[in-house]
Amino acid sequence: MTSLAGKVAFVAGASRGIGATVAKALAAQGAAVAVAARSEQPGTLPGTIFSVADDITAVGGRALPVPCDVTDEDSVESAVAAVVSEFGGIDVLVANAGVLWLGPIESTPLKRWRLCLDVNVTGVFLVTRAVIPHVRARGGGSLIAVTTTGVTMTDQGSNAYWVSKAAAERLYLGLAADLRADNIAVNCLSPSRVVLTEGWQAAGAGMQIPPEMVEPPEAMARAAVLLATQDAHGITGTIQRSEELIG
């Protein structure tokens, strides 16, 4: 696996779950990592930006905890500016921040629908828009949006989460064409199976997942590292499934 030494990665939604695992994996490959999320204090779910950053620095990595609400334009811009000031630029984005709502459409409260769209679509848009000039200034890099296989599971019905992730995939597939001339790889990455993160277990609507359908978060981390090493001359404009990508 290619080293990420000298690279800077901005991981949104990095205080727990997939984001935290990806942040640690990128740091282990040599990247300086911005651990970005809203979680500054311990809450209902475990993990904060500071605990993840501490885990990285404890084993010799470089990390910067950055408060960031991806739905707030000023918060995103401030977070990106802080990272550029500390590390000198940004080469890799992992847009992982997300909220889960799997209830049927007819019983979905409007506030839940809006929250999924605000975080899972507008949040991806805001953080991506903010980092593009900095990745371009480095001569290329990699943008990764974390999505879900639920986008294709239309036979299983519809919910706000899958709809929002489908929109994020369309955003990134089109963006790959826009940024190809800037040598920026743009890809989507989803688990091949289900990663039982803290967020899933808190908001998974009580779904029982058979053991054979559970994927370790490390598979997503390995896949994210592989995509992080890409530019527009490599893998770009694709929707990748973690376990398929890493073989």
**Cβ-proximal residues to 2 (8 Å cutoff; 6+ apart), any chain:** 29, 229
How far lies 134's CA from each of 84, 178, 215, 241, in Å?
A: 8, 16, 33, 27
Query: Among the options 87, 101, 161, 172, which is catalytic?
Result: 161
Based on the residue annotation, tell me whether 172 is a catalytic residue of this protein. no
Q: How far apart are CA 12 and CA 2, in angstroms?
A: 22
Q: How far apart are CA 75 and CA 155, in angstroms?
A: 38
Report whether 83 contacts 91 (CB < 8 A). Answer: no
Q: How far apart are CA 23 and CA 94, in angstroms?
A: 9
* Exposure string for 6-31, b = 16+ CB within 10 A, e = fewer: ebbbbbbbbbbbbbbbbbbbbbbbeb
| Tokens (6 digits) for 228 | 């992080």
Q: Mind telling me the catalytic residues? A: 161
